[in-house]
Amino acid sequence: MSRIGKLPVVVPSGVNVALAGQSITISGKLGKETLAVSPEIAVEVADGKVVLKPRTMSKRANTLWGTSRALINNMVHGVDKGFSQNLEINGVGYRAAVDGKNLNLQLGFSHDIVFAIPPGITIKVGEKQQALAISGANRQQVGQVAAEIRALRKPEPYKGKGIKYAAERIRRKEGKKK
């Protein structure tokens, strides 16, 4: 039995849940998300709650039960409150600026890096152009965009220069000794 799957997903006010066969659509103030649930999982919407149950007691149905419940919970939270990820840029001359639908990054290369901001994602740059706040309704998409931006210049362990997550701690190494 899945401990996560047993819990019902509470739908807050202002969020609409529509079920059409095995496809569930959740819409709220921040957008609209759709998920195709596996046919091994039964989905019910009643009394402001989404309840999932496996149709069979196979191992696959049990794993999909908890996964589907977590995905639906993330969709409900995303369209209601949204998700965000914070990045920090460290290094002399390293900075970022949002220009329309593009993010311009100066990361110590001979050229600026232009990152196209995908639809559904908003990026805000801090006052000193050293902090990025990535937000959106889809948790997976927010995390993926943050990982792609971080991969452009990963933090290095000697001086700590690069792009890192705000909560990330970089293990520093000692430099060469004479």
pLDDT band at 2 (very low <50, low <70, confident <90, very high): confident
The CATH number of residue 143's host domain is: 3.90.930.12
Domain tally, the chain: 2
pLDDT in tens, 59-74: 999 889 999 999 999 9
pLDDT in tens, 92-144: 999 999 999 999 999 989 999 999 999 999 999 988 899 999 999 999 999 99
Mean pLDDT (whole number) for 55-62 = 90
Residue finishing a domain among 62, 80, 98: 80
Phi, psi of 167 (to 5 degrees): -90, -5
pLDDT of the residue at 1? 66
Residue 156: burial class (beta carbons within 10 Å; 0-12, 13-18, 19+)? middle
Q: Domain range spanning residue 91?
A: 83-165
Decide the pairing of beta strands 113-116 and 121-125: unpaired
Residue finishing a domain among 80, 103, 133: 80
Residue 127 neighbours by CB under 8 Å, 6+ apart: none
pLDDT in tens, 9-29: 999 999 999 999 889 999 999
Retrieve residue 153's tokens: 């210049």
Q: Which residues of 35-60 are buried (b: 16+ CB within 10 A; e: fewer)?
A: eebbebbebeeeeeebbbebeeeeee
Question: Do residues 24 and 37 lie in contact, with contact meaning Cβ atoms separated by under 8 Å?
Answer: yes
User: Is there a single domain that holds both residue 73 and residue 116?
Assistant: no
Residue 177 lies in a domain: no
User: Is there a single domain that holds both residue 90 and residue 43?
Assistant: no
Q: What is the mean pLDDT of the chain?
A: 92
User: Is there a single domain that holds both residue 89 and residue 159?
Assistant: yes
Residue 119 neighbours by CB under 8 Å, 6+ apart: none
User: Is there a single domain that holds both residue 89 and residue 140?
Assistant: yes
pLDDT of the residue at 148? 95
Residue 115 lies in a domain: yes
